[in-house]
Amino acid sequence: MRNQVQLIAYADRFGGTIDGLHRLLDEKFAGVFGGVHVLPFYSPYDGADAGFDPVDHTSVDPRLGTWADIKSLATSYDVMADLIVNHVSSHSPQFQDVVAHGRDSAYAPMFLTMSSVFPDGATEADLTAIYRPRPGLPFTALRLGGELRYVWTTFTPEQIDIDITSDLGRDYLHQILDAVAEAGVGFVRLDAVGYAVKTPGTSCFMTPETFDFIAAFTQRARERGVEVLVEVHSYYRDQVAIAEKVDFVYDFALPPLLLYALSTGDGAALAAWLRDRPTNAVTVLDTHDGIGIIDAGPRRGEKAGDPVRPGLLTEEQVDTLVAGIHERTGGSSQAASGATASNLDLYQINSTFYDALGRDDAAYLAARAIQFFAPGIPQVYYVGALAGGNDTELLARTNVGRDINRHYYSPAEIDAALEQPAVRALLQLCRLRNTIGAFDADDLTVDLTGTVLTLHRGATDGPRACLTVDLGDGSASMEWTGTDGVAGRLDDLRQLLD
């Protein structure tokens, strides 16, 4: 995987098709992105959860293109694809056969019910121990072959959890891996993998059995030339532990820490994390999901009386962060978050990152510069690449909180956005990130003096780069030596906005 900035995008919302996305990258974003994470393009891409509930995970939705289009894209860019390991659509032919025939279906072992995990029944303690991303228990009462069963549905009733320990479940996932590898996909994101293994008597989230599954699946992927990114929102120490066992892990703590630092001028937590974070990370400020809060906050005890484990931010700081986002977005993020809109994770705030910063161009550039200086592979979400604001009209139509950050861009809107000073500046910053040799090393030196954060990248005997950001006002300067040996300097990143 080349060490360059990557794009995250839905093909239908940014380009219209896979080929359209490919042409956008070539024609409008030349030199900006070395790779692209194409969000679910499987059949159907527009299901109950924007493609994360595939009916057929081994086929490309013909409305978006074909596997040949993915292979063509992969000849020019590093391509990442989602591998949805936890569940499949309730409309899939396999589950529909179980609906029709119940226990007599050949596919019955592929899906989880309450009784398949708790054959002897579950106590109240068993059920309350299950870690939940959303309110309520992870079961939906459905008739299977005329028999009412409690089917395991971690996210929604239309997403049926797979028994990945069964032969059918393993074969299903391996077929998907083979399909994407054959198409030239070099990177898979294991979506919702933290919930994939259900072990009775545990939280059923990131258990030792989950790590065993990730290790086995990663080995199989590597045999096919595919690297694995693990997607888990959780306590920051979990991310550090996960990183030791996988190819790549998301740095989900970085976005809330940057928002807090740039809105308060207090960079202590950010600096501490930059010194401690794993380097085999994919760095993001925005994705198709919300801005994680749990990733930077403290961990409450699972049982009454258990101590609270300190986070990167205190509970009071988290409250300040959340209140500040809601204020800067004029309340639109509050209308899209928590229990106020459907299909949400309660530990995330739904907003574009640009709006979460109050559309402050200088602060936005400073945040991206810090992201690009953090060791790892940086990814920029398509809405963030265009400095997009909250889509309250789409939210009103769908009442899905995360849709506030999932705008459908027309060609005219893309052209208009590319004229925005913040967008032009960000794309220049991406091009710089792709050509500065210092970023090929994982070295990072962090200094915080008052509100001034200074980051140094590069080995002492090779190319170097330095970023200085005043967190109090968002002003920033940068100097570097490029891969061609040419030195450069920007005394003020805001000059990119001219």
CB atoms within 10 A of CB 128: 12
Question: Which string of DSSP letters, residue by residue, matches 286-332?
Answer: --SS-EESTTTS-B--SSTTPPPBP-SS-HHHHHHHHHHHHHHTTTH
Q: Which of 12, 61, 82, 191 is catalytic?
A: 191
* Interacting residues of 47 by C-beta distance below 8 A, sequence separation 6+: 53, 54, 55, 89, 91, 158
d(CA 162, CA 112): 6
443 is catalytic: no
- Strand 476-481: give its sheet, edge to edge: 444-449, 452-457, 465-470, 476-481, 487-490
Contacts of 431 (CB under 8 A, 6+ apart): 31, 32
Sorted by sequence, the CB contacts under 8 Å of residue 153 that are 6+ apart come out as: 87, 138, 139, 140, 159, 160, 161
Burial of 97 (0-12, 13-18, 19+ CB in 10 A): middle
Residue 231 among the catalytic residues = yes
Q: Which of 49, 69, 161, 231 is catalytic?
A: 231
Pairing relationship of beta strands 187-191 and 227-230 according to DSSP bridges:
parallel
Residues serving a catalytic function are: 191, 231
